[in-house]
Amino acid sequence: MGLKVYGAAMSTCTARVLTALIEKEAEYELVPVNLAVGEHKQPAYLAKHPFGQIPVLEDDDLTLFESRAIAAYVSYKYKTQGTDLLRIGNLKEAGLVGVWIEVESQQFNPAISALVYQLVIAPAFGRPVDQAIIDTNTEKLGKVLDVYEARLSSNKYLAGDFFSLADLNHLPYTYYLMKTGSASLINERPHVKAWWEDISSRPAFVKVSENMNLGG
């Protein structure tokens, strides 16, 4: 049986998993979960994901949730094919990939996900927008991106001179941010901008982003 991803093509966390699968040249099937009708909160789905979120990966009798963990699993499972996303054979490089995977998750994601919610998701669903949250997270994300700017001035990618899962994990939220006025956070930092243009033009993400239509 092949891999099954339960999710929605427009969702950032699903897009992260799909991008990793395509980079790894893995076969998969996307099983749509209808968030609008609350399918993710029904018992059948909660049996796969106890927190009732997307995505979930099923690989035979193994069920995984948390998009970054799924992307790492896929990178290990297909270590001999596709892009080497974790630098498994090089301890030093693998250590640095681990660091920048954590930076994305702990520093970058909290700020950018709050911004994308306010700037893209809330308006798309007619929910209220909170300017104070936009301001706080613009400042937070700017500080994180100052660190990225310095890092990327001496390394082509975050973990070194190779594309890795650390870079890939940034793609979906940044894609939506770039459709807003806050794209300037990326564009006004030349090394961050060059990095973004490079990673977002990889064929795997170009394919996935064709179905990311949140906010029109």
**Chain residues that interact with ligand GS8, rule: CB under 6 A:** 11-14, 35, 40, 52-54, 66-68
- CB closer to ligand GS8, 125 vs 194: 125
Q: How far is the CB of 148 from ligand GS8 (least distance, A)?
A: 20
Q: How far is the CB of 53 from ligand GS8 (least distance, A)?
A: 3
Sign of CA dihedral 150, 153, 156, 160: negative
- CB closer to ligand GS8, 33 vs 152: 33
Q: How far is the CB of 11 from ligand GS8 (least distance, A)?
A: 3
The two structure tokens encoding residue 16: 């992260």
Q: How far, CA to CA in Å, does 7 sit from each of 33, 38, 40, 43, 150?
A: 5, 12, 9, 16, 35
- CB closer to ligand GS8, 107 vs 152: 107
Nearest to 152 by CA among 185, 187, 189: 189
Nearest to 148 by CA among 99, 182, 181: 99
- CB closer to ligand GS8, 121 vs 183: 121
Q: How far is the CB of 96 from ligand GS8 (least distance, A)?
A: 21
Q: How far is the CB of 48 from ligand GS8 (least distance, A)?
A: 12
Looking at residue 105, what DSSP letter applies?
I
Nearest to 139 by CA among 181, 107, 111, 178: 111
Amino acid sitting at position 75 = S
Secondary structure (H, E, C), 116-176: HHHHHHHHHCCCCCCHHHHHHHHHHHHHHHHHHHHHHCCCCCCCCCCCCHHHHCCHHHHHH
- CB closer to ligand GS8, 14 vs 209: 14
Q: How far is the CB of 154 from ligand GS8 (least distance, A)?
A: 29
- CB closer to ligand GS8, 40 vs 87: 40
Query: Residues 9, 56, 24, 183: what is their CA dihedral angle, to the nearest 10 degrees?
Result: 50
